[in-house]
Amino acid sequence: MTRHRGRGMASINYPIGMNLGGDPSQALVHSNPSGKFTVALSSIDLGQGMKSVTRQICAETLGVPVEDVYVDTADSDTGPHCMGSFASRGTHRVGNAVMAAAREARGVMMEAAAEELEVNAADLETDGRGNIHVKGAPHRSISTKDVAIAAQFKQGKTISGRGIFLVPLSDVDPETGEMSPATCYAHACLVAEVEVDDETGEVAMVRMDSAYELGRALNPRLVEQQLVGGAWMGVSHALYETPEPYYPDPVHGPRDFVEYLMPGPGDICPHDIAVLERPAPDGPFGGKGPGEMCANPVLPAVANAIFNAVGVRIDDLPITPEKVLRAIKAQGGARPQARR
Amino acid sequence: MTKIPLQFRHNGRDVAIFVDGGTNLLVALRELIGDMTPKFGCGQGGCGTCSVLIDGELHLSCLTLAETVAGRSVETLDGMKQGPNLHPLQRAFADNFAAQCGYCTPGMLMAAKALLDRNPAPSRADVIEAISGNICRCTGYEPIINAILAAAGGRASA
């Protein structure tokens, strides 16, 4: 029995969102009389950080502390329309909608503040700490709370804003059929190192090294978290998960969490991540988002690493020990390829 | 069906409820006591998110008959906070971004507490072993392991 090491690489370009129907998302932003803001969305945060990142985008655009913004993902019956949390579109599409809504709300807030301070709204600026003051004269100041109270009880104004992001429909070139399905792309490259046991066919992850280009990382810790978890979701699709191991025959399919294979804490390996920030011109503060791209390069990289280790090319996922072993037997033994 | 009277300590407080025969502890905690911190994941002991401590020992509440905890002490995540302050493990989970969707977090924290209560200075291998019965579908094991090691380190130096 021998354990063979192998290394494989994969690179991807991944579209942010889609073009279907213009891929729209809406956001509504309003303040209540306490000077706190609510962002209403139908987009769902299922752990990827949608609430955190839209909260940051809204606070930054309004010029108020992040603590003063609450994101309500409500539901799709009562919230403004959103295509959904998929296609790596959340940060870009929903973020742009939130930015537009916050910009409109900021306009009303500045007008209301101008009325209270008896100055021109164009002469006002926010300090990011909950105050609005005259440019160059910070003592001529009013808190966003007092502005909100004045708007509500004195001026009869709603400090609110509406935002939508819609992708312009891409025309199809009648000659070539060419069109632009997406407005921006994220990119990644991942090198996987594996160890393949030629007696059992088992594949163990040894390490991963990766680089991601995803626009500006609006929340670097959340980006890193998503890249770590996403890479392991990729490993899981490459090596473990399937509801039908003998598809289309459902035989031996898993029936519960015990039989459905997923990586556990003992399977993980060192994973080095480099994030390259190249702000996207049409992204909110330059953000595109990691999304699905964090899982996708792992599958081909692992398949290539297995080929590099034992010389078998498996093109059917997941790459189970049985498939590896049958392929090794079919070619009369492991044939390690040159290490690069 | 006859209801069975049941008394036990729940996070240091005596509770008395009536349960149907065969009720599991997870249902008793969530539906009869109103403690929603143990989560229902698979209901068959495969995922670990319903983990609680019974007399200090880690158990899967979905596989534990409620009647068997009579007179015993049950700890859940709801009792982990020390007054207004987060437990060092909760603090470390937050500092290390050790939760994504958060569904596994209650079970992870209880498994980690069970470990640190009996071994205040665990190795990385000890931590992996301790949480190997808990599934994190976001596959964020690395920050979870780091958080538990950080909590242990902080406690040792404190």
Where along chain A do the CATH 3.30.365.10 domains lie?
Answer: 3-15+185-330, 20-165
User: Which of B45, B134, B139 is closest, CB to CB, to A263?
Assistant: B139
Over residues B6-17, mean pLDDT: 97
Task: State the helix-helix crossing angle for B141-157 and B88-95, rounded to 10 degrees.
Answer: 130
For A122-158, how does the pLDDT look when each residue is reduced to its tens digit (9 = 90+)? 999 999 999 999 999 999 999 999 999 999 999 999 9
Q: Do B44 and A258 touch (CB under 8 A)?
A: yes
* Confidence at residue A22, expressed as pLDDT on a 0 to 100 scale: 87
| Same structural domain, B107 and B65 | no
| Same structural domain, B94 and B75 | no
ipTM of model over 0.90:
no
**If pLDDT is split at 50, 70 and 90, which confidence band does A182 have?**
confident
| Same structural domain, B101 and B128 | yes
Residues A76, A42: contact at Cβ < 8 Å? yes
Cα-atom radius of gyration of chain B, to the nearest Å? 16
User: In this structure, are strands A25-31 and A37-40 parallel, antiparallel, or unpaired?
Assistant: antiparallel
| Same structural domain, B66 and B96 | no
| Same structural domain, B31 and B8 | yes
The last residue of one of the domains, among B25, B52, B79, is: B79
**CATH number of the CATH domain containing B141:** 1.10.150.120
Judged against a pLDDT cut of 80, whether residue A334 lies above it is answered with: yes
Which of A223, A240, A268 is the best substitution to test chain B (most B C-beta atoms within 10 A)?
Answer: A268
Which of A48, A232, A240, A273 is the best substitution to test chain B (most B C-beta atoms within 10 A)?
Answer: A232
| Same structural domain, B31 and B64 | yes
Q: Do A236 and B128 touch (CB under 8 A)?
A: no
| Same structural domain, B96 and B67 | no
Contacts 24+ apart (CB under 8 A), A331-338: A333/A198, A334/A2, A334/A4, A334/A196, A334/A198, A334/A309, A334/A310, A335/A310, A335/A311, A336/A4, A336/A6, A336/A308, A336/A309, A336/A310, A336/A311, A337/A6, A337/A307, A337/A308, A337/A309, A337/A311
User: Which of B46, B97, B131 is closest, CB to CB, to A257?
Assistant: B46
| Same structural domain, B30 and B60 | yes
Which of B93, B129, B139 is the best substitution to test chain A (most A C-beta atoms within 10 A)?
Answer: B139
Distance from CA of B84 to the nearest CA of A (A): 20
The last residue of one of the domains, among B79, B111, B133, is: B79
E strand intervals along chain A: 3-15, 25-31, 37-40, 69-72, 124-126, 131-134, 137-143, 160-165, 185-197, 203-213, 271-276
For A281-302, how does the pLDDT look when each residue is reduced to its tens digit (9 = 90+)? 999 999 998 889 999 999 999 9
Among B133, B40, B145, B36, residue whose Cα is nearest residue B92: B145
Distance from CA of B96 to the nearest CA of A (A): 9
- Hey, what CATH topology would domain A3-15+185-330 get? Aldehyde Oxidoreductase; domain 4 (3.30.365)
Contact list in B for residue A85 (CB cut-off 8 A) is none
Q: What is the pTM of this model?
A: 0.90
**Domain of B36, in residue numbers:** 3-79
The last residue of one of the domains, among B47, B79, B111, is: B79
Residues A64, A34: contact at Cβ < 8 Å? no
Judged against a pLDDT cut of 90, whether residue B72 lies above it is answered with: yes
- Domain A20-165 classified CATH 3.40.50.740? no
Cα dihedral: A32, A36, A41, A45 (round 10): -150
Contact list in A for residue B142 (CB cut-off 8 A) is 228, 268, 271
A88-102, A248-262, B107-121: range with lowest mean pLDDT = A248-262
* Confidence at residue B156, expressed as pLDDT on a 0 to 100 scale: 44
**If pLDDT is split at 50, 70 and 90, which confidence band does B1 have?**
low
Residues of B engaging A, defined by a Cβ cutoff of 8 Å: 41-42, 44-47, 97, 100-102, 127-129, 131-132, 134-145
Domain count, chain B: 2
| Same structural domain, B65 and B96 | no
Nearest CA in chain B to A45: B101
| Same structural domain, B129 and B64 | no
Residues A9, A191: contact at Cβ < 8 Å? yes
| Same structural domain, B93 and B152 | yes
For B44-69, how does the pLDDT look when each residue is reduced to its tens digit (9 = 90+)? 999 999 999 999 999 999 999 999 99
A&B contacts, CB < 8 Å: 64
Over residues A61-85, mean pLDDT: 92
Judged against a pLDDT cut of 90, whether residue A114 lies above it is answered with: yes
